[in-house]
Structure 1
Amino acid sequence: MNRILVIDDDTELCELLSDYLGGEGFLVETVNHGTEGATQALEQEYTLVVLDVMLPGMSGFDVLRRIRETSKVPVIMLTARGDDVDRIVGLELGADDYLPKPFNPRELIARIRAVQRRMDTSDSGTRKSDDGELRVGDIVLCPTNRSVKRDGTTVELTSVEFTLLTVLLKQAGNVISREELVEKALGRRLSAYDRSIDVHVSALRKKLGKEYAGEERIKTIRGIGYLYTRAEA
């Protein structure tokens, strides 16, 4: 069952989302307090968490930090419209996507479906692929158990970071446009002023190391997109 946890202190919005998402086939549970939300997100199984930034008891950022300590459950953050700082911070802490308030519930449904398509495509591809592990330089990505190792050491990635790295490794040595990365890694179209894919790439650089064998690991191709280098030690 598609079980979603909404953590937001706006009770009217929680009721609206419960009704709307419920009508789309989701089982929705709501929590109006940050600390309680973090506890519930970790103690129970959810398909996805919708998390507001401004919460009593514990901020949405602190809730996300606690969740990411032990869980890879997809998280969509709700941020104040126009507050780019909140969006960037949320993505850097491991959020899969964000949605600025106020928003149309249909847009939230679209974001949730996009996350589900990305996960379903990844799982389906894993079952059908005969390629096995992806090895590029010092990185080994295993689709079967969704693990990534650098020089034999496990690197913890969020679900969207894992999908993004898979796309980059499969096309290592080739330039990939930001539009293609957004569609394949986030499951939606690139919109104007959307810098989320850039933040996810930045997070990958930090976790994998910015350089390998004297070359930049993930190169920015100005005005186009990114390229994962095929440099060999």
Structure 2
Amino acid sequence: MSTSEADKPVHVLLVDDEASLREPLAEYLTGQGFRVSEAESGAGARSVLLNQHPDIALVDIMMPGEDGLSLTRFLTETKGLPVILLTAKGEATDRIIGLEIGADDYVPKPFEPRELVARIRSVLRRAGRAAVASPEEDALYQFDGWHLDPLKRKLTDPDGSVVSISTAEFRLLRAFLDHPRSVLDRDRLLDMVQGREAHMFDRAVDNQVSRLRRKIEADSRDPQLILTVRGGGYRFAANVTRVALARD
């Protein structure tokens, strides 16, 4: 990553239909050194994404028109964008669904803005979006003809085509690639993929494994790369190598 890129402020897409929350929060985040793009709806967020490339999205679940869960699925699966859900206290089921479809974290309303800033930074670190790349992020993963560039979050299949993956799928794949041929139980994978309070959402990891298998397995019904270990979790069966990359 170049010095100019590292010096760029983190770009936050803030999506909430309540102007009374959105506008002061945007002002606060700006004061904390973030660049903020606001949207009051899913349609507005999609419009922003036509010519903007934010680093992370804060998405309210309850919005008129397209709800936050539908928008989250679009952001994670199509744009590979980390997402923090802004939720009301009584939306436990929606929080679970949000995490299962790829959201990185959630913050119940009302929240302390300083806590939200800490969550943003934590999610960006977990997603590999830290301002300065670590040595590990400068190495390309290779497995079974596939390539993963962790800094660019770019997954390439054996034919050379780029395959889109969500933030949660990216972190799950990283966990497997960092621990090839090791049995990783669900609790450990949940900690790696979802982070805080992941134990509350047991089935989230199974859903993410299923989605990742559909991306990288020749036949997801007969997986050869991500194997299920009865009573134990999962094991990544392929050999994994690392190749150092020279960044511009």
Deviation at 1:6, TM superposition (A): 0.9
Deviations 1:155-214 (A, max 9, x none): 32123322320220231211235554455445x4445414454543342133334355x6
Alignment partner, residue 174 of structure 2: 166
Q: Which has the higher contact order (CA 8 A, sep 6+)?
A: 2
Alignment of 1:111-130 (within 5 A): 111-118=119-126, 119-120=128-129, 123-125=133-135, 128-129=138-139
Deviations 1:90-109 (A, max 9, x none): 34544333334443334322
Paired amino acid for 1:28: V
Cα distance in 2 for residues equivalent to 1:56 and 1:95: 20
Deviation at 1:5, TM superposition (A): 1.8
Q: Which runs of 5+ in 2 are unaligned?
A: 1-8, 240-248
Q: Which runs of 5+ in 1 are unaligned?
A: none
Secondary structure (helix, strand or coil) at the match of 1:133 reads strand
Alignment partner, residue 193 of structure 1: 200
Deviations 1:67-98 (A, max 9, x none): 45752232222234454442344345443333
Alignment partner, residue 105 of structure 1: 113
Alignment partner, residue 217 of structure 1: 226
Alignment of 1:56-67 (within 5 A): 56-67=64-75
Choose which of 67, 71, 75 in structure 1 pairs with 2:83.
75
Identity %: 35
Deviation at 1:126, TM superposition (A): 5.1
Q: Confirm or deny: 8 A CA contact 1:182 1:189 kept in the other structure.
A: no
Cα distance in 2 for residues equivalent to 1:42 and 1:58: 17
Paired amino acid for 1:17: L
Deviation at 1:32, TM superposition (A): 1.8
Alignment partner, residue 95 of structure 1: 103
Q: Confirm or deny: 8 A CA contact 1:48 1:75 kept in the other structure.
A: yes
Q: CA, structure 1 residues 78+159, in 2 after alignment: closer, same or farther (shift >3 Å)?
A: same
Choose which of 48, 58, 81 in structure 2 pairs with 1:40.
48
Paired amino acid for 1:39: S
Q: Does residue 13 of structure 1 match 2:28?
A: no
Alignment partner, residue 228 of structure 1: 236
Paired amino acid for 1:217: I
Cα distance in 2 for residues equivalent to 1:101 and 1:198: 28
Alignment partner, residue 153 of structure 2: 146
Number of aligned residues: 225
Q: Confirm or deny: 8 A CA contact 1:134 1:170 kept in the other structure.
A: no
Cα distance in 1 for residues equivalent to 2:177 and 2:17: 41
Cα distance in 2 for residues equivalent to 1:202 and 1:99: 26
RMSD value over aligned CA atoms?
3.4
Of the structure 1 ranges 159-168 and 177-186, higher mean CA displacement relative to structure 2 is found in: 177-186
Secondary structure (helix, strand or coil) at the match of 1:77 reads strand
